[in-house]
Amino acid sequence: MSLLARVVTLLVAFLAVVAVGAFVVIHYFLGGPPTVDFTANVKPDTGATVQVVMQEDPQNTVTTHPDWVSYFIKSPQTGQWVHTTVFKVPAGSKVDMTILGYDGCTPLRNPYFGHVTGTIGGTEDVDGKPVTQINSWSGCNVGHTFSIPGINLNAPMASPSLTATLCGPSPCTSGPKKTMTFSFMTPKTAGTYFWQCRVPCGGGFVDGFGGPMQTIGFMTGNMEVVS
């Protein structure tokens, strides 16, 4: 092999290794769902209110896992639904949360988490009616939960009736749903607070706790609190 051929081979091999390394870093370490920002024009620690709107769907038609249940967040800037579970809110602020529950029912593994905690007033509204708990074992009542353990927040999400035909393409824009509203205060300490669903809704995985339950962007994510 000539000197030129050897140099070219070496160069190509080197570039290939660099490319693979860059792909791994960018795709696996730096990649992730986008962050929806609710901090624009809101001063932290003033008690100001931010409006967060989310929906939980029986599936998603926007990822490579279409049979995974998923949350979506509505961008306040564009009004579009974003397939993510990461959002940013100001510290010391009031969050008025609205979650549209399009998914069907699945019983909680621990019915204790049918109990509303950590919200202002200790209640949530389901289709406008205040509730303090929803029993997921007594019937088709609970689809998911929205829980932030770091601030002891737990809100069960009511589900459409058993016979309802759930929405098909997602993010859902029509179809039977329940609307949950509740408010909570964000911590005064900046930081990242993870949130999760407590219903074992990872269908097809052991005990329902795999797949979307373990993947940021589907049934768990982060609330980034900034000061």
Partner 1 sequence: MAAPAAAQPPSETAKGPNHGLRLVLLWLPVAVAADLLIYLVWGPHLPPGQMSTSASSQQFDIKIMAVMAAPVMAFVLIYFGYALVVWRQKAGDTEDGPAIQGNTRIQASWITITSVLVLFLAGFGSYELVTTGPAGADGAGSGEGPSPIWTPGGKPLQVQVIGQQWRFTYRYPQYGGFETTQLVLPVGEEVEFHVTSLDVIHSFWAYQLGVKADANPGVDNVAFTKALQTGTVTVRCDELCGLWHGAMYNFGKVESVSAFRAWAQKTEVQLASVTKMLPPYATSYEPTVVPQINKAMAKSGIAGANGYYYPPNDPAQP
Q: Which chain residues interact with partner 1 by CB under 8 A?
A: 58-59, 66-69, 104-107, 109-112, 114-115, 117, 132-133, 135, 137-140, 149-150, 152, 162-168, 194, 196, 198, 200-209, 213-216, 220
Please, which residue, 107 or 187, has the CB nearer to partner 1? 107
Q: Which residues contact 181 (CB under 8 A, 6 or more apart)?
A: 96, 97, 98, 99, 124, 125
DSSP run (H or E) holding 198? none
Cβ proximity to partner 1, 88 vs 109, nearer residue: 109
Minimum CB separation of residue 101 from partner 1 in Å reads 13
Least Å distance, CB 218 to partner 1, is 11
| Per-position DSSP letters for 71-133, written without gaps between them | EEEE-TTT--EES-SEEEEETT-EEEEEEEE-S-----SSGGGGB-BSSGGG-EEETTEEESB
- For the four alpha carbons of 49, 102, 74 and 59, in that order, the dihedral sign comes to positive
Instruction: State the nearest-atom distance from the C-beta of 190 to partner 1, in Å.
Output: 16
Q: How, if at all, do strands 86-90 and 220-226 pair?
A: parallel
Nearest to 187 by CA among 57, 101, 95: 95
Nearer to partner 1, 50 or 113 (CB): 113
CB atoms within 10 A of CB 33: 18
Nearer to partner 1, 50 or 84 (CB): 84
- Please state, as a whole number, how many other Cβ atoms lie within 10 Å of the Cβ of residue 146: 23
How near is the Cβ of 175 to partner 1 at its closest, in Å?
A: 10
Q: What is the nearest approach in angstroms of partner 1 to the Cβ of residue 161?
A: 9
Nearer to partner 1, 91 or 105 (CB): 105
- The least distance separating partner 1 from the CB of residue 225, rounded to whole angstroms, comes to 14
Q: What type of residue sits at position 177?
A: K
Of 90 and 156, the one with the shorter C-beta distance to partner 1 is: 156
